[in-house]
Amino acid sequence: MMNNLNLLRIFESVYRLGSMTKASKELFMTQSGVSQNIKNLEELLEIKLFDRVKQKTLPTFKAHELYKGIKPHLYGIEEILSHITEEDTELQGELHIGLPIEYGNNVIVPLLTKWSRLHPGINYKIKYGHATDMNKALLNGELDMAVVDNFGMDKQIKQEVLGDEELTLCCSENYAKEIGPIKNTMKFFEKLDYIDYVDDAPILKQWFKHHFKSNQFNPHIRASLMNVQGISKMITEDLGLGILPHHVVDKLNNEGLSLYSFKGSGKPLHNSLSLATLDKRSENPLLEETARFLFESLN
């Protein structure tokens, strides 16, 4: 029993510090000694506690469960070991999920709410941000999964297409009246003001390449900010044209903030959204079942 207790103390230090090197210093042990004790604990429990990814020590789903159990008190060990080594019939635990703000709030969060009603033992920690933020957080083990748009993720991150959103070029009704009459030509659009997410305006250029087959569009950018809510505000305040997801346009119109949508060639431009997870992580039944529910709900 005491040997098991010592193993758990070493595990607690490695989990909390996120490093076997730091744990060895705290415990006055060699790094190889810490590593061997973690290996012994894994063999004893017949589960994997840490993944080694790019020289980082990342806790597995089972490690999260074990740490949660032993953090408040290092007693009742047999009960905790029994819980961690048995397969639970009911889904329970905590998921760390990364979401884009608008698509996340409008589409994913309602589904997660429905899922948690079906499984009261599930808790969420949600982080909002862009694909670049999610890429880093997944690699660091801060997230179990993330919903991301078209972005060059690290090769170690697995992506599966979850759905898509229509991207709409729009402006306020007032701005549309100021620039009217509307003409569906490149010459007309080149004279207007724009708002985009980054300085080089890749999403705007993508929209014009899709609708007008042009690679020569250089818009006059009045403002750039990586925030859908901020761009929405600037568009409704008559600053210029910008790209918004169609569900955001519908939401603003329903709130009485009338927007004018440009049709282009008539065939909408879609942004693919994927569910991203770090490849080669240990089995996590809570993550797998939640992902399956999202895929089935959206497809």
pTM, entire model: 0.62
Residue 143: name the closest of 113, 22, 154, 152 by CA.
154
Domains 2-85 and 165-270 agree in fold:
no
- The predicted pLDDT at position 283 comes to 79
Determine if residue 291 is left, alpha or beta; phi over 0 gives left, psi from -120 to 50 gives alpha, anything else beta: alpha
β-bridge partners, 273 = 163
95 and 125 in contact (C-beta within 8 Å)? Answer: yes
* Torsion sign, CA atoms 238, 243, 249, 255: negative
Assign a CATH topology to domain 2-85: Arc Repressor Mutant, subunit A (1.10.10)
E strand or H helix at 229: helix 228-236
Which tokens go with 120?
A: 């009261």
Which tokens go with 285?
A: 């039944």
Question: Could you give the CA distance from residue 264 to residue 222 in angstroms, rounded to a whole number?
Answer: 22
Which residue carries 């440009």 as its tokens?
Answer: 262
C-beta pairs of 222-225 under 8 Å, 24+ apart in sequence: 222/193, 222/194, 222/195, 223/195, 224/195, 224/196, 224/197, 224/198, 224/199, 225/195, 225/197
145 and 95 in contact (C-beta within 8 Å)? Answer: yes
- The predicted pLDDT at position 1 comes to 47
Question: Tens-of-pLDDT digits for all 299 residues of the chain?
Answer: 446 778 888 998 899 888 999 998 888 888 998 999 999 999 999 999 999 887 788 999 999 999 888 776 664 555 555 556 655 557 888 999 999 888 898 889 999 999 998 898 899 999 998 888 899 999 999 999 999 987 678 999 999 998 888 999 999 999 999 998 999 999 999 999 999 987 788 889 999 999 999 888 889 999 988 788 899 999 999 999 999 999 899 989 999 999 999 999 889 999 889 999 998 888 788 999 999 999 989 87
- The predicted pLDDT at position 132 comes to 86
Question: Could you give the CA distance from residue 243 to residue 167 in angstroms, rounded to a whole number?
Answer: 6
155 and 203 in contact (C-beta within 8 Å)? Answer: no
Q: Tell me how far the alpha carbon of residue 56 is from its chain's centroid.
A: 20
- Among 3.10.20.30, 1.20.140.10, 1.10.10.10, 3.40.190.10, name the CATH number for the domain at 93-164+272-298: 3.40.190.10
154 and 140 in contact (C-beta within 8 Å)? Answer: no
- CATH for the stretch 165-270: 3.40.190.10
b/e code 13-39 from CB counts within 10 Å (16+ = b)? bbbebebbebbbeebebeeeebbebbe
For the CA atoms of 111, 113, 116, 117, the dihedral, rounded to the nearest 10 degrees, stands at: -110
- The predicted pLDDT at position 73 comes to 62
* Torsion sign, CA atoms 196, 200, 202, 205: positive
Instruction: Kindly list the domain boundaries of the chain, sorted by start residue.
Output: 2-85, 93-164+272-298, 165-270
247 and 106 in contact (C-beta within 8 Å)? Answer: yes
Which tokens go with 108?
A: 């994913």
